[in-house]
Amino acid sequence: MLSQDGKKQVILLPVLAVLSTVFFVLRLLRKRNSLGLDDGLLCLAMLFLYTDTAFGLVMAIKAGEGFPTQSLTPEQMNLLLILAWAPQLVYTVLISTIKFSILVSYYLIFGGLRWFRLATYAIGVLEGMWFVTVFITVIFECTPVSKSWRPLQPGHCINFPAFLWGNSISNTILDYMILLLPVLPVLRLQMSTGRKTLVLLAFSLGSLASVSSTIRAAWTAKFDPTRLAETIFEGGIWTYIEPHAALIAACLPYLATTFSQIFLKWSGLLRAIGEKKATTMSNIRSKSRKARPDGSNTIGFGTQRAALESYDLDTDIVKVGSTFKQSDDSIRQLV
């Protein structure tokens, strides 16, 4: 029997895993002729992502997540504590791997700019320091290490809520630093404002991960170690959502052209509907003219119909699609 929190987690995690896999495969197909280190890092991240998802499912199904802590059996409590500790290590490796992949992608695109290379190196060093610090702290948060899942064992532990605060806030700051990194180079590109906006939107999709990270940081205030089973879901679920959002965000900029082609297919249907509507309106206007020869019932209709007929949805979407492609080519040819 699953708690309400457990049921939510069992539904949400497989859906996220499928979405991440789909976007990852689409990215590989899109870049099949130019795969690089950034793609290799994402491949590694996918392995950790599946491991993280498996931990979350076991927690929901076997460890009594969402039930009152006092009602758990000793075996459930022990498993819950293990699954509250071990996934932290997986999460730390996972989120850092995704961020390094994004930084490598940025470097490959904008690396011709000296200041950008230096900024990428600096953020990479900060991310590396965050990874080492958090990973080691998680391992040795209790002395001996086994006290993390055996609380009655003699020893001592760090102030875990304070560690969560430091971990979450520093992680969120790094997220936004990476998110803002490509803004200035894009603004300096020799292209129209509209095209710059589209390119910035493609890169700003990383805000998905930043928002998740921010919510995860805010949850820290609600975490109560004495009520672990009841309170772990609210923050834990964002710990699972954040890597999925980050991985999808890392894939989306490379799929802009793919999505624009999908929009093109839909545009044919939308145009057909629009033309049918225009024909219907034309028939109504014709009947109205017969009823009122002076045209008094058609004031303003000619202008509206002309505007409708002059609008070509296909042309607009083609322009968007070509803009994405031209922007991508322009960025890659920068300096």
Are 57 and 13 in contact by the 8 Å Cβ rule? The answer is yes
pLDDT, greater one: 286 or 57: 57
Q: Supply 161's token pair.
A: 């809520």
Quote the pLDDT of residue 82. Answer: 93
Are 246 and 19 in contact by the 8 Å Cβ rule? The answer is no
Whether pLDDT at 302 is above 70: no
The domain 4-254: what is its CATH number? 1.20.1070
Start-end of CATH 1.20.1070 domains in the chain: 4-254
d(CA 248, CA 252): 6
Whether pLDDT at 137 is above 90: yes
Q: How many CB atoms lie within 10 A of CB 150?
A: 15
Instruction: Please name every residue paired with 21 in a beta bridge, in sequence order, or none if there are none.
Output: none
Highest mean pLDDT among 73-82, 181-190, 285-294: 73-82
- Mean pLDDT value across residues 81-90: 92
Over residues 185-202, the pLDDT tens digits come to: 878 777 677 666 767 776
Of 77-81, 113-117, 179-183, 306-310, the range with the lowest mean pLDDT is 306-310
Over residues 205-258, the pLDDT tens digits come to: 666 677 777 777 677 666 666 777 887 887 778 888 889 988 988 888 777 665
d(CA 55, CA 53): 5
Over residues 143-176, the pLDDT tens digits come to: 999 998 998 899 999 988 788 888 888 988 998 8
- Prediction pTM value: 0.74
With a CB cutoff of 8 Å and minimum separation 6, the contacts of 289 are: 295, 298
Whether pLDDT at 278 is above 80: no
Quote the pLDDT of residue 220. Answer: 65
Specify the DSSP element, H or E, that contains 263: helix 256-291
Instruction: Please name every residue paired with 156 in a beta bridge, in sequence order, or none if there are none.
Output: 143
Quote the pLDDT of residue 287. Answer: 56
d(CA 165, CA 181): 24
Position 30, amino acid? R
How big, in percent rounded to 5, are the helix, strand and coil portions of the chain?
85, 0, 15
